[in-house]
């Protein structure tokens, strides 16, 4: 059973959780319900799903916005960023729709950002206390991606393609995603590095279910992400 501190949840009323979603009807209701145990404001960006993702998300208590055509996860995040900022968000949390992220991790990251005056907190599977059952090849590619990102940005990150992030409003104004699909993660890191504001990584646990694996990136995308990092943002 999910438990939460109602006082802490009220304090997080200045945080909006943005969940990009595409055909997530089997799980989105549970994901939204889990997040709402810690955050009162959840925004699901339905990227032109052909199923009932948006309706189920609304029934679970989320605000929703819908793209008329499928534009990709990066575009959905950008829509969510703009909507959250327009509604006065102080913190924006990016959270995957497939159930692999832990809402308690997201809450801890927001609380840490507030306590330590951090402009962003990025989740990492590779810090002590984090984890997730990652295949050998994908682990190698993610590590390589982190090394390339470190060389390009000067940020000593261990996990540059983790979808669980907390970004404060002043830092988020520096983030303008033009990579609509999965390469947006490298753009976020590059643009946060360039903003000059303080940030940190935070250990998180990723739960890879059969559903999330089926919805996840093929291994080739891991290679494509590294190539994108090497070539730089365009």
**For 70-115, how does the pLDDT look when each residue is reduced to its tens digit (9 = 90+)?**
999 999 999 999 999 999 999 999 999 999 999 999 999 999 999 9
Domain range enclosing 75: 12-231
Residue 1 counted as domain residue: no
Mean pLDDT taken over the chain: 86
Residue 211 counted as domain residue: yes
Kindly indicate the confidence band of residue 1, based on its pLDDT and cuts at 50, 70 and 90.
very low
For residues 136-149, average pLDDT: 61
38-102-204 Cα angle (round to 5): 120
Exposure pattern of 1-34 as b/e (b: 16+ CB <10 Å)?
eeeeeeeebeebebbbbbbbbbbbbebbbebbbb
Residue 108 counted as domain residue: yes
Residue 58 counted as domain residue: yes
Calpha distance 140→144 (Å, rounded): 6
Residue 6 counted as domain residue: no
**For 110-122, how does the pLDDT look when each residue is reduced to its tens digit (9 = 90+)?**
999 999 999 999 9
> The pTM is what?
0.86
Question: What is the number of structural domains in the chain?
Answer: 1
């Amino acid at each position: 059973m999910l438990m939460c501190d109602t006082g802490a949840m009220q304090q997080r009323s200045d945080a909006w959780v943005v969940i990009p979603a595409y055909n997530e009807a089997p799980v989105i209701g549970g994901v939204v319900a889990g997040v709402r145990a810690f955050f009162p404001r959840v925004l699901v960006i339905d990227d032109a799903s052909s199923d009932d993702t948006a309706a189920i998300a609304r029934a679970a208590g989320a605000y929703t916005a819908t793209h008329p055509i499928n534009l990709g996860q990066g575009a959905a995040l950008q829509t969510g960023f703009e909507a959250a900022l327009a509604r006065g968000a102080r913190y924006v949390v990016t959270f995957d729709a497939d159930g692999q992220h832990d809402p308690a991790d997201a809450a801890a990251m927001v609380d840490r950002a507030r306590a330590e005056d951090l402009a962003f907190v990025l989740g990492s599977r590779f810090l002590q206390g984090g984890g997730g059952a990652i295949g050998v090849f994908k682990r190698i590619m993610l590590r390589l991606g982190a090394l390339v990102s470190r060389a390009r940005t000067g940020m000593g990150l261990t996990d540059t393609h983790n979808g669980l992030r907390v970004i404060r409003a002043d830092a988020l104004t520096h983030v303008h995603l033009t990579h609509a699909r999965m390469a947006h993660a490298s753009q976020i890191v590059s643009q946060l590095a360039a903003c000059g504001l303080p940030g940190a990584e935070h250990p998180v646990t990723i739960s890879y279910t059969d559903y999330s694996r089926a919805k996840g990136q093929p291994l080739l995308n891991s290679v494509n992400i590294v190539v994108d990092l090497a070539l730089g943002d365009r």
